[in-house]
Amino acid sequence: MSTPILICDDSGFARRQMARSIPDSWEVEISFAGNGQEALEVIRAGKGDVVFLDLNMPVMDGYETMEAIRKEDLPCLVIVVSGDVQAQARERMLALGAIDFIRKPIDNEKLTNILSSYGIYSGVSTAVQREAVARDTDASSLEDKLDAYREMVNIAMGRAGESLAQLMGEFVDLPIPNVNLLESNELSMAIAEINRNDCVSAVSKGFVSAGIRGEALVIFNDINSQNIVELLKYDAHQSTGSLELEALMDVSNILIGACLNGLSEQLNVSFSHTLPVLLGRHQGLAALINDNVKKWGKVMAIEIGYAIKARDIAFDLLLLFPDEAMNHIYGRLVDVDKEAS
Protein backbone atom coordinates (compact mmCIF):
# COMPACT_ATOMS: atom_id res chain seq x y z
CA MET A 1 0.00 0.00 0.00
CA SER A 2 1.34 3.40 -1.01
CA THR A 3 2.00 6.09 1.58
CA PRO A 4 0.52 9.50 0.67
CA ILE A 5 3.24 12.11 1.12
CA LEU A 6 3.18 15.86 0.64
CA ILE A 7 6.07 18.10 -0.39
CA CYS A 8 5.36 21.72 0.54
CA ASP A 9 7.77 24.37 -0.74
CA ASP A 10 7.24 27.61 -2.63
CA SER A 11 10.09 26.72 -5.01
CA GLY A 12 9.35 24.34 -7.88
CA PHE A 13 13.08 23.63 -8.08
CA ALA A 14 13.14 22.65 -4.40
CA ARG A 15 10.01 20.47 -4.78
CA ARG A 16 11.68 18.55 -7.61
CA GLN A 17 14.86 18.15 -5.58
CA MET A 18 12.86 16.74 -2.68
CA ALA A 19 10.84 14.43 -4.93
CA ARG A 20 13.95 12.96 -6.51
CA SER A 21 15.37 12.28 -3.04
CA ILE A 22 12.54 9.90 -2.11
CA PRO A 23 13.95 6.32 -2.07
CA ASP A 24 12.93 4.23 -5.07
CA SER A 25 11.73 1.28 -3.01
CA TRP A 26 9.43 3.40 -0.83
CA GLU A 27 5.93 3.11 -2.32
CA VAL A 28 4.46 6.60 -2.20
CA GLU A 29 1.88 8.83 -3.80
CA ILE A 30 3.35 12.32 -3.98
CA SER A 31 1.33 15.55 -3.76
CA PHE A 32 2.76 19.06 -3.94
CA ALA A 33 1.91 22.42 -2.38
CA GLY A 34 3.44 25.86 -2.88
CA ASN A 35 2.53 27.29 0.52
CA GLY A 36 1.06 26.29 3.87
CA GLN A 37 -2.50 27.11 2.91
CA GLU A 38 -2.37 24.70 -0.02
CA ALA A 39 -0.68 22.12 2.21
CA LEU A 40 -3.48 22.18 4.77
CA GLU A 41 -6.04 21.46 2.05
CA VAL A 42 -4.02 18.44 0.87
CA ILE A 43 -3.58 17.11 4.43
CA ARG A 44 -7.29 17.52 5.20
CA ALA A 45 -8.02 15.51 2.04
CA GLY A 46 -5.97 12.62 3.43
CA LYS A 47 -3.10 12.99 0.98
CA GLY A 48 -0.35 13.93 3.41
CA ASP A 49 0.39 11.20 5.95
CA VAL A 50 4.03 12.33 5.79
CA VAL A 51 4.73 16.01 5.10
CA PHE A 52 8.04 17.56 4.04
CA LEU A 53 7.60 21.20 5.01
CA ASP A 54 9.63 24.29 4.12
CA LEU A 55 9.73 27.28 6.50
CA ASN A 56 10.06 30.44 4.37
CA MET A 57 7.02 30.61 2.09
CA PRO A 58 4.48 33.24 1.00
CA VAL A 59 0.79 33.22 2.03
CA MET A 60 1.38 30.88 5.00
CA ASP A 61 4.87 29.97 6.16
CA GLY A 62 6.04 26.76 7.81
CA TYR A 63 5.56 28.03 11.37
CA GLU A 64 1.96 29.08 10.69
CA THR A 65 1.29 25.79 8.91
CA MET A 66 2.64 23.76 11.83
CA GLU A 67 0.52 25.77 14.26
CA ALA A 68 -2.58 25.05 12.16
CA ILE A 69 -1.77 21.33 11.95
CA ARG A 70 -1.42 21.24 15.73
CA LYS A 71 -4.59 23.27 16.34
CA GLU A 72 -6.68 21.06 14.05
CA ASP A 73 -4.93 17.90 15.24
CA LEU A 74 -4.40 16.80 11.65
CA PRO A 75 -3.10 13.22 11.27
CA CYS A 76 0.33 13.66 9.70
CA LEU A 77 4.02 13.35 10.48
CA VAL A 78 5.92 16.53 9.62
CA ILE A 79 9.60 16.66 8.70
CA VAL A 80 10.92 20.18 8.23
CA VAL A 81 13.16 20.65 5.18
CA SER A 82 14.64 24.13 5.28
CA GLY A 83 17.56 26.38 4.49
CA ASP A 84 16.99 28.15 7.81
CA VAL A 85 19.03 26.03 10.18
CA GLN A 86 19.11 28.32 13.21
CA ALA A 87 18.85 26.46 16.50
CA GLN A 88 15.81 28.55 17.47
CA ALA A 89 14.03 27.66 14.22
CA ARG A 90 14.61 23.97 14.87
CA GLU A 91 13.51 24.21 18.52
CA ARG A 92 10.37 26.13 17.63
CA MET A 93 9.25 23.64 14.98
CA LEU A 94 9.97 20.60 17.15
CA ALA A 95 8.01 22.21 19.98
CA LEU A 96 5.07 22.64 17.58
CA GLY A 97 5.11 18.93 16.77
CA ALA A 98 7.48 18.36 13.85
CA ILE A 99 9.30 15.04 14.24
CA ASP A 100 12.61 16.11 12.70
CA PHE A 101 14.49 18.81 10.82
CA ILE A 102 16.59 18.38 7.64
CA ARG A 103 18.99 20.98 6.28
CA LYS A 104 18.76 21.82 2.58
CA PRO A 105 20.06 20.60 0.18
CA ILE A 106 18.75 17.12 0.97
CA ASP A 107 21.14 14.40 2.07
CA ASN A 108 19.55 11.13 0.90
CA GLU A 109 21.28 9.06 3.56
CA LYS A 110 20.10 11.34 6.37
CA LEU A 111 16.57 11.35 4.98
CA THR A 112 16.48 7.55 4.94
CA ASN A 113 17.85 7.36 8.49
CA ILE A 114 15.14 9.70 9.75
CA LEU A 115 12.39 7.76 7.97
CA SER A 116 13.77 4.52 9.40
CA SER A 117 14.10 5.85 12.95
CA TYR A 118 10.36 6.66 13.02
CA GLY A 119 9.32 3.39 11.37
CA ILE A 120 8.10 5.19 8.25
CA TYR A 121 10.39 3.40 5.80
CA SER A 122 13.20 0.88 6.13
CA GLY A 123 15.27 0.25 3.06
CA VAL A 124 18.09 1.64 0.95
CA SER A 125 18.40 5.35 0.19
CA THR A 126 18.89 4.91 -3.58
CA ALA A 127 16.68 7.23 -5.64
CA VAL A 128 17.95 6.61 -9.17
CA GLN A 129 14.64 5.75 -10.82
CA ARG A 130 12.74 8.57 -9.16
CA GLU A 131 15.56 10.95 -10.07
CA ALA A 132 15.24 10.05 -13.74
CA VAL A 133 11.50 10.67 -13.69
CA ALA A 134 11.87 13.96 -11.82
CA ARG A 135 14.53 15.21 -14.22
CA ASP A 136 12.18 14.63 -17.13
CA THR A 137 9.93 17.30 -15.61
CA ASP A 138 12.76 19.85 -15.23
CA ALA A 139 12.21 23.05 -17.13
CA SER A 140 14.66 25.68 -18.32
CA SER A 141 12.48 28.73 -18.96
CA LEU A 142 13.63 32.05 -17.55
CA GLU A 143 11.08 31.80 -14.74
CA ASP A 144 12.29 28.30 -13.85
CA LYS A 145 15.88 29.52 -13.79
CA LEU A 146 14.98 32.46 -11.55
CA ASP A 147 13.21 30.01 -9.24
CA ALA A 148 16.37 27.86 -9.11
CA TYR A 149 18.52 30.92 -8.32
CA ARG A 150 16.08 31.97 -5.60
CA GLU A 151 16.23 28.53 -3.99
CA MET A 152 20.03 28.49 -4.23
CA VAL A 153 20.23 31.83 -2.42
CA ASN A 154 17.55 30.76 0.06
CA ILE A 155 19.83 27.93 1.21
CA ALA A 156 22.93 30.15 1.30
CA MET A 157 20.92 32.80 3.17
CA GLY A 158 20.04 30.21 5.81
CA ARG A 159 23.72 29.44 6.38
CA ALA A 160 24.45 33.13 6.82
CA GLY A 161 21.48 33.54 9.15
CA GLU A 162 22.76 30.70 11.33
CA SER A 163 26.20 32.34 11.58
CA LEU A 164 24.67 35.71 12.47
CA ALA A 165 22.42 34.15 15.11
CA GLN A 166 25.45 32.53 16.72
CA LEU A 167 27.39 35.82 16.67
CA MET A 168 24.60 37.98 18.01
CA GLY A 169 22.77 35.54 20.25
CA GLU A 170 19.43 36.51 18.71
CA PHE A 171 17.00 34.91 16.28
CA VAL A 172 17.41 36.30 12.75
CA ASP A 173 14.26 36.64 10.64
CA LEU A 174 14.87 35.42 7.10
CA PRO A 175 12.81 36.58 4.12
CA ILE A 176 12.09 35.07 0.72
CA PRO A 177 14.93 36.42 -1.48
CA ASN A 178 14.03 38.87 -4.24
CA VAL A 179 15.58 37.95 -7.61
CA ASN A 180 15.47 40.40 -10.50
CA LEU A 181 17.08 40.78 -13.91
CA LEU A 182 17.98 44.39 -14.64
CA GLU A 183 19.93 46.51 -17.05
CA SER A 184 22.92 47.90 -15.15
CA ASN A 185 21.67 51.44 -15.76
CA GLU A 186 18.43 50.47 -13.97
CA LEU A 187 20.27 49.18 -10.92
CA SER A 188 20.59 52.44 -9.02
CA MET A 189 16.86 53.10 -9.36
CA ALA A 190 15.97 49.55 -8.34
CA ILE A 191 18.15 49.42 -5.25
CA ALA A 192 16.77 52.73 -4.06
CA GLU A 193 13.67 50.69 -3.20
CA ILE A 194 15.71 48.48 -0.86
CA ASN A 195 16.31 51.23 1.65
CA ARG A 196 14.52 54.54 1.39
CA ASN A 197 16.61 56.08 4.16
CA ASP A 198 18.83 58.82 2.72
CA CYS A 199 21.94 57.71 4.57
CA VAL A 200 23.42 54.20 4.53
CA SER A 201 26.80 52.55 4.89
CA ALA A 202 27.89 49.67 2.68
CA VAL A 203 30.62 47.02 2.65
CA SER A 204 31.52 45.18 -0.55
CA LYS A 205 33.34 41.99 -1.54
CA GLY A 206 34.01 40.75 -5.06
CA PHE A 207 34.17 37.00 -5.75
CA VAL A 208 35.01 34.76 -8.72
CA SER A 209 35.20 31.07 -9.68
CA ALA A 210 34.65 28.80 -12.69
CA GLY A 211 33.08 31.40 -14.97
CA ILE A 212 31.04 32.86 -12.13
CA ARG A 213 31.85 36.28 -10.78
CA GLY A 214 29.90 38.73 -8.73
CA GLU A 215 29.76 41.41 -6.11
CA ALA A 216 28.30 41.12 -2.61
CA LEU A 217 27.21 44.23 -0.72
CA VAL A 218 25.97 44.51 2.84
CA ILE A 219 23.91 47.65 3.28
CA PHE A 220 23.32 49.15 6.71
CA ASN A 221 20.77 51.80 7.54
CA ASP A 222 22.64 54.38 9.62
CA ILE A 223 20.02 54.34 12.37
CA ASN A 224 20.84 50.63 13.03
CA SER A 225 24.58 51.02 13.57
CA GLN A 226 24.50 51.82 17.27
CA ASN A 227 22.05 48.98 17.93
CA ILE A 228 24.48 46.54 16.31
CA VAL A 229 27.37 47.86 18.43
CA GLU A 230 25.34 47.40 21.61
CA LEU A 231 24.35 43.87 20.63
CA LEU A 232 27.95 42.83 19.92
CA LYS A 233 29.14 44.32 23.24
CA TYR A 234 32.34 45.86 21.94
CA ASP A 235 34.87 47.63 24.15
CA ALA A 236 33.33 51.02 24.91
CA HIS A 237 36.76 52.70 25.21
CA GLN A 238 36.87 53.25 21.45
CA SER A 239 35.15 56.16 19.76
CA THR A 240 31.58 55.66 18.57
CA GLY A 241 32.66 55.98 14.95
CA SER A 242 35.38 53.33 15.35
CA LEU A 243 33.02 50.95 17.10
CA GLU A 244 30.38 51.30 14.40
CA LEU A 245 32.93 50.71 11.65
CA GLU A 246 34.28 47.60 13.40
CA ALA A 247 30.76 46.26 13.87
CA LEU A 248 29.84 46.83 10.21
CA MET A 249 32.99 45.11 8.98
CA ASP A 250 32.59 42.14 11.34
CA VAL A 251 28.94 41.55 10.46
CA SER A 252 29.68 41.94 6.74
CA ASN A 253 32.58 39.47 6.85
CA ILE A 254 30.47 36.83 8.58
CA LEU A 255 27.38 37.42 6.44
CA ILE A 256 29.15 37.43 3.07
CA GLY A 257 31.55 34.61 4.02
CA ALA A 258 28.77 32.29 5.18
CA CYS A 259 26.63 33.09 2.15
CA LEU A 260 29.50 32.43 -0.28
CA ASN A 261 30.25 29.16 1.50
CA GLY A 262 26.60 28.18 1.05
CA LEU A 263 26.80 29.00 -2.67
CA SER A 264 30.11 27.10 -3.02
CA GLU A 265 28.61 24.00 -1.45
CA GLN A 266 25.67 23.95 -3.85
CA LEU A 267 27.63 24.81 -7.00
CA ASN A 268 30.62 22.60 -6.12
CA VAL A 269 33.06 25.45 -6.73
CA SER A 270 35.51 27.37 -4.60
CA PHE A 271 35.23 31.14 -4.69
CA SER A 272 38.22 33.40 -4.34
CA HIS A 273 37.23 36.81 -3.09
CA THR A 274 38.62 40.24 -2.41
CA LEU A 275 39.12 41.76 1.00
CA PRO A 276 36.04 43.62 2.29
CA VAL A 277 35.93 47.24 1.20
CA LEU A 278 33.98 50.00 2.90
CA LEU A 279 32.29 51.65 -0.07
CA GLY A 280 31.15 54.61 1.96
CA ARG A 281 29.37 55.78 5.06
CA HIS A 282 26.41 58.08 5.57
CA GLN A 283 25.71 58.32 1.84
CA GLY A 284 22.88 57.75 -0.56
CA LEU A 285 22.66 54.08 -1.57
CA ALA A 286 22.87 54.67 -5.33
CA ALA A 287 26.22 56.46 -4.89
CA LEU A 288 27.83 53.33 -3.44
CA ILE A 289 27.39 50.98 -6.40
CA ASN A 290 30.71 49.79 -7.78
CA ASP A 291 31.67 51.25 -11.17
CA ASN A 292 32.51 47.75 -12.44
CA VAL A 293 28.92 46.66 -11.84
CA LYS A 294 27.67 49.58 -13.90
CA LYS A 295 29.60 48.21 -16.90
CA TRP A 296 28.11 44.72 -16.77
CA GLY A 297 25.14 45.27 -19.07
CA LYS A 298 22.43 42.99 -17.67
CA VAL A 299 22.65 42.20 -13.98
CA MET A 300 21.00 39.56 -11.82
CA ALA A 301 20.29 41.33 -8.52
CA ILE A 302 19.39 39.22 -5.49
CA GLU A 303 18.27 41.08 -2.38
CA ILE A 304 17.98 39.53 1.07
CA GLY A 305 16.65 41.59 3.96
CA TYR A 306 17.84 40.31 7.35
CA ALA A 307 16.14 41.48 10.54
CA ILE A 308 16.63 41.02 14.28
CA LYS A 309 13.24 42.24 15.38
CA ALA A 310 13.94 41.92 19.10
CA ARG A 311 16.66 44.58 18.74
CA ASP A 312 15.12 46.71 15.98
CA ILE A 313 17.99 45.88 13.62
CA ALA A 314 17.68 45.41 9.87
CA PHE A 315 20.20 45.29 7.04
CA ASP A 316 20.36 43.99 3.48
CA LEU A 317 22.64 41.67 1.56
CA LEU A 318 22.73 42.39 -2.16
CA LEU A 319 24.29 39.83 -4.52
CA LEU A 320 25.02 41.06 -8.04
CA PHE A 321 25.95 38.78 -10.94
CA PRO A 322 26.66 39.79 -14.57
CA ASP A 323 24.42 38.29 -17.22
CA GLU A 324 27.03 35.80 -18.47
CA ALA A 325 27.32 34.23 -15.01
CA MET A 326 23.67 33.16 -14.99
CA ASN A 327 23.98 30.21 -17.37
CA HIS A 328 27.12 29.03 -15.59
CA ILE A 329 25.24 29.09 -12.28
CA TYR A 330 22.22 27.24 -13.63
CA GLY A 331 24.45 24.69 -15.36
CA ARG A 332 26.32 24.05 -12.12
CA LEU A 333 23.08 23.68 -10.16
CA VAL A 334 21.73 21.10 -12.61
CA ASP A 335 25.06 19.23 -12.88
CA VAL A 336 25.54 19.05 -9.12
CA ASP A 337 21.96 17.81 -8.75
CA LYS A 338 22.70 15.01 -11.25
CA GLU A 339 25.94 14.10 -9.45
CA ALA A 340 24.10 13.96 -6.11
CA SER A 341 21.76 11.35 -7.48
Residue 74 sits in a domain of what CATH number? Answer: 3.40.50.2300
324 and 213 both lie in a single domain? yes
Which stretch of DSSP H or E encloses residue 281? strand 277-283
Asked if residue 187 lies in contact with residue 293, where contact means CB atoms within 8 angstroms, the answer is yes
Q: Looking at residue 179, what is its pLDDT?
A: 92
37 and 62 both lie in a single domain? yes
123 and 189 both lie in a single domain? no
Summarised one tens digit per residue, pLDDT across range 55-80 is: 999 999 999 999 999 999 999 999 99
43 and 159 both lie in a single domain? no
171 and 286 both lie in a single domain? yes
Query: Whole domain around residue 175: which residue ranges?
Result: 142-340
CATH number of the domain at 231, please. 3.40.1550.10
Amino acid code (one letter) for 104? K
Q: Looking at residue 279, what is its pLDDT?
A: 80
Q: Looking at residue 131, what is its pLDDT?
A: 53
57 and 150 both lie in a single domain? no
Q: Give the closest residue to 329 by CA, choosing from 272, 284, 271.
A: 271
Domain boundary, last residue among 95, 114, 136: 136
Domain boundary, last residue among 117, 136, 155: 136
Q: What's the number of domains the chain is made of? A: 2
Give the residues of the chain that fall short of pLDDT 50.
132-133, 135-136
Q: Which residues contact 5 (CB under 8 A, 6 or more apart)?
A: 22, 28, 29, 30, 31, 48, 49, 50, 51, 52
pTM above 0.95, yes or no: no
CA distance 125 to 111: 8
Q: Looking at residue 340, what is its pLDDT?
A: 55
